[in-house]
A = this chain, B = another copy of it.
Amino acid sequence: MAGVSTATVSRVLNGSDKVRESTAARVMKVVEEMNYRLDHVARRMKVKSTDSLVIGLVITDIGNPFFSNVAKGVEDVAFRNKHIVMICNTNESPEKENFFLNSLLSEKVSGAIIVPTTGNGNYSFFEGLVQDGFPMVMVDRKIEGLNIDSVSINNELGGYLATRKLIESGHKRIGIVCGIKGLSNTTERLSGYKRALQEAGIEVTDSLISYGNYIEEGGREAMSELLSLKNRPTAVFSTNNLMTLGCIKEIYHRKLSIPDEIALIGFDDSTWAEALIPPLTTVKQPGYELGANAAELLIKRLSSPMSSTMNIVLNPEMVVRESCGVK
């Protein structure tokens, strides 16, 4: 319609190369007029897969504000780089994780950002993808032994800081509500907790360590266990936001007062943490930054697949409010 070949149209649309200005203008005019839209799917058949302008994001729970912030960070950076993102929600199921990754591969996405479901379920599958050179970056959780980019927070430090804060407030019997056994961040937060105790000369007591699987109901049950102990803790460190909500509900249920009868520190500073009474002391995890950094890392890797992998570790920060007992 513009009296030029398809090749020229392609050149104009890709803003590239040496096309005479007048020709480009003529093409663009027709493009506008007929509302022509490049077929991105056909394009992806020719272009190398790192140029697909689509990236995948596989997360474990889009309903969790922490992860939805991660998603927002990914989204924003992707948009700024003209990429679009396919979000998949695994609900911690390795089967769904496997299915989604295969789908993304079939979709010829340029790469993927992944919060792995468990430490090992799909290990050999991941390994194969890495060997095939599929660009991936792990976020929030790592898988040991896999040489790929990752962005995570210093969970050990987070666990340490929270526990130390509680110790500073005079507590000696400090319980912890852990997440899912076997996940790197669970292990790390727990080991930070232990380090703080040991440093203060407090013995680590097994019965004070409980697990809540990173969900609200689990947190409530774990807190219930802890509070049912004959010699119950005077303070508890809950290692994720959903479980913290469960903990709080259990505490209210038993009509105990925070922080006098039971001090509490959470993990993940959610918008609502400040609105609680008393306002919740938490370890702040920069979810948005986590996502944004992961997306930047992935997009960088697309253009330089050979550069050596890197692990970015963001430091968590204590947000001291009132639930831990000292201002």
Contact = CB atoms under 8 A, between A and B. Distances in A.
Interface of A: 35, 37-42, 44-45, 54, 62-63, 65, 68-69, 71-72, 75-76, 79, 84-89, 96, 100, 102-108, 128, 216, 242, 245, 248-249, 252, 270-272, 274-277, 288
A70 to B, nearest CB: 10
14 contacts: A37-B105, A37-B106, A39-B106, A40-B106, A40-B107, A41-B44, A41-B106, A65-B65, A65-B68, A68-B68, A71-B89, A84-B86, A85-B86, A87-B87
Contact of A71 (B41, B62, B107, B275): B62
The count of identical subunits is 2
A108 B39 contact: yes
Contacts of A245: 271-272, 275
Nearest to A68: B68
Given A38-B106, A88-B84, A272 B274 contact: no
Contacts of A102: 37
A54 B275 contact: no
Chain B CB within 10 Å — which of A41, A248, A249 has the most? A41
B107 A89 contact: no
Given A41-B107, A75-B87, A85-B88, 20 more contacts: A37-B105, A38-B106, A39-B106, A40-B106, A41-B108, A42-B45, A54-B86, A54-B107, A62-B71, A63-B69, A65-B65, A71-B89, A72-B89, A76-B89, A84-B88, A85-B87, A248-B275, A249-B274, A272-B272, A277-B277
A62 B54 contact: no
Contacts of A274: 249
Contact of A89 (B42, B75, B86): B75
B103 A75 contact: no
A52 to B, nearest CB: 8
Nearest to A287: B63
Nearest to A108: B41
Contacts of A252: 275
A95 to B, nearest CB: 11
Contact of A242 (B39, B45, B76, B271): B271
B40 A103 contact: yes
Contacts of A108: 39-41
A63 B72 contact: yes
